[in-house]
Amino acid sequence: MFSTEDSIVAIATPPGRGGIGIVRISGPSANAIARSLLQHPSPLRARHATHTRVIGRDAEAPAAFDEVVATYFPSPHSYTGEDVVEISAHGSPVVLNAIVAGAIAAGGRLAAPGEFTLRAFLNGKRDLVQAEAVADLIDAVTPLQARVAFDQLDGTLTRRIGEIDGTLFHLLARLEASLDFPDEGYHFVEPGAAALEIEGVIAELDDLLASGRRGRLVREGATVVVIGRPNVGKSSLFNRLAGAERAIVTEIPGTTRDLVTERIDLEGLAITLVDTAGARATLDRIEHEGVTRAAQARGVADLLLVILDSSEPLTPDDERVLRETEGQKRLVVANKSDCGPAGAASAIAVSARTGDGVDRLRCAIRGALLGHETMRDTAAITNIRHIALLEDARGNLDAARSAAGDAGAPEEFVLADLQAARARLDEIVGTRTSEDVLQHIFERFCIGK
């Protein structure tokens, strides 16, 4: 299914116009295809920028249509591990499409999404974790997301998993030796010691999994929903946090009737902030629909901001909102601190009008979502596929530990469970991953990557 026999071509730069656009060609005939497009008399020098021109494919009168710089990366020292030629032309879609069309006419095939990175994986240039990190790095919307993705691209997670796998391998080897030489009356590893070692590996997996929840927040972002009774200043605070006058603010209770969303970067966290209609019983059909939508938004929130108005006593509507959200992750915010005494001691006092306390609120949001440690050197794992496989491996190790601690259980049981755990780890880095999983992973990429 994944053929690497042919040569693939695609525009590697984003769609649209720009100063420079790059067409990438990879595969056994990349060099020949490129040369048929270029007006360059001698062969391209490896890893040298060659200034030349691209020519049209009209055999009668092949006219040059742009000045380009072509770079030839012979296999295996290229992104994909194959022969690669990159042609940097002016960033005109017309020019770039003409180069791609010329490459296809010369025997190339248009690359599928992610196919360059897939080939890099298939040729052993990158493991699966690193290939997935390429997509994450390209998709990153905050600097923190980019840094975590680059860490994985750099191999941090791969090394960590390699170490864990190494420990398991060492243990397996000794257990097998004990099985192979039972008559010598000599255990290469005592069952009790094996259980302890497995325990240690479980602790490492737990450590990694604990970073996963926070890592996922960094990678996928979080939804923060602003709720409260009408007129407490939800939309005003929403606008403050968004840094733009997105939602309509008036002194009339019931102003907001729909969900208003805005993506914000909150100290590196990608947050989808949602403003909602004020919670109250209403006969107005439009407002009623807004209140229903607000309730739905509550259901999908990673964090709720429950807004109170510190210039007024709590109303029954406030009390109902507080009661209903008790079990959910929330921050209680006392707004309008500029014109009232601070409300409940546990509430965060802010003023959407003056901006007072808003920085503290930002910190509190980040803290509520991530915990207060910094992300440095910790978020090794962000991807739900990795998390699921690590959890499976942990399950296998649990079983292995029980079997190792149970004098009656045959050692083969321990071996089988340890092998199953290693297989899960292999799947993460891609040493044994089925084709449909690969297909699914690389479909996420865009063409040219």
Ligand X SMILES: Nc1nc2c(ncn2[C@@H]2O[C@H](COP(=O)(O)OP(=O)(O)OP(=O)(O)O)[C@@H](O)[C@H]2O)c(=O)[nH]1
User: In whole angstroms, what is the distance from residue 26 CA to residue 180 CA?
Assistant: 49
Buried-state track 32-60, b at ≥16 Cβ within 10 A, e below 16: bbbbbbbebeeebeeeeebebbbbeeeee
User: In whole angstroms, what is the distance from residue 380 CA to residue 157 CA?
Assistant: 6
As measured in angstroms, the least distance from the Cβ of 257 to Mg ion is 9
Binding-site size for Mg ion (CB under 5 A) equals 4
Span near ligand X by CB under 6 A; candidates 194-202, 251-259, 394-402, 437-445: 251-259
Three-state DSSP at 109 gives strand
Q: Does 107 bind ligand X (CB under 6 A)?
A: no
Q: Does 351 bind ligand X (CB under 6 A)?
A: yes
Cβ neighbourhood burial of 401 (10 Å; 0-12, 13-18, 19+): buried
Q: Does 256 bind ligand X (CB under 6 A)?
A: yes
As measured in angstroms, the least distance from the Cβ of 227 to ligand X is 9
Span near Mg ion by CB under 5 A; candidates 111-119, 159-167, 256-264, 349-357: 256-264
Token representation of residue 237? 């605070």
As measured in angstroms, the least distance from the Cβ of 255 to ligand X is 4
Residue nearest to ligand X (CB): 278
Token representation of residue 393? 């491996």
Match 């040493």 to its residue by tokens. Answer: 431
Contacting ligand X (CB under 6 A), which of 278, 357, 430, 448?
Answer: 278
- CB closer to ligand X, 208 vs 291: 291
Q: Does 256 bind Mg ion (CB under 5 A)?
A: yes
Q: Does 353 bind ligand X (CB under 6 A)?
A: yes
Q: Does 343 bind ligand X (CB under 6 A)?
A: no
- CB closer to Mg ion, 171 vs 308: 308
Indicate left, alpha or beta for 48 from its phi (over 0: left) and psi (-120 to 50: alpha): beta
Contacting Mg ion (CB under 5 A), which of 88, 158, 178, 235?
Answer: 235
Cis ω for the linkage preceding 76 (within 30 of 0): yes
Q: Does 251 bind ligand X (CB under 6 A)?
A: yes
Q: Hey, how many other C-beta atoms are within 10 angstroms of the C-beta on 95?
A: 17
Contacting ligand X (CB under 6 A), which of 91, 107, 162, 253?
Answer: 253
Q: Does 234 bind ligand X (CB under 6 A)?
A: yes
Residue 306's nearest CA partner among 316, 320, 287 is 320
As measured in angstroms, the least distance from the Cβ of 243 to Mg ion is 17
**Residue 269: strand pairing partners:** 266
User: In whole angstroms, what is the distance from residue 150 CA to residue 347 CA?
Assistant: 38
Span near ligand X by CB under 6 A; candidates 69-77, 91-99, 184-192, 348-356: 348-356
Classify strands 49-55 and 64-73 as parallel, antiparallel or unpaired: antiparallel
Contacting ligand X (CB under 6 A), which of 3, 97, 250, 296?
Answer: 250
Residue 152's nearest CA partner among 414, 380, 425 is 380
Classify strands 260-266 and 330-335 as parallel, antiparallel or unpaired: unpaired
- CB closer to Mg ion, 204 vs 262: 262
Residue 377's nearest CA partner among 160, 63, 107 is 160
Planar angle of CA 304, 306, 310, nearest 5 degrees: 160
Contacting ligand X (CB under 6 A), which of 130, 158, 236, 396?
Answer: 236
As measured in angstroms, the least distance from the Cβ of 307 to ligand X is 6
As measured in angstroms, the least distance from the Cβ of 364 to Mg ion is 21
Span near ligand X by CB under 6 A; candidates 35-43, 80-88, 349-357, 361-369: 349-357
Q: Which of residues 322-341 bind ligand X (CB under 6 A)?
A: 335-336, 338-339
As measured in angstroms, the least distance from the Cβ of 368 to ligand X is 21
Q: Longest C-alpha distance within the chain, in Å?
A: 88
Three-state DSSP at 374 gives coil
Q: Does 231 bind Mg ion (CB under 5 A)?
A: no
- CB closer to ligand X, 210 vs 342: 342
Binding site for ligand X (CB under 6 A): 228, 230-236, 249-251, 253-256, 277-278, 335-336, 338-339, 351-353
Binding site for Mg ion (CB under 5 A): 234-235, 255-256
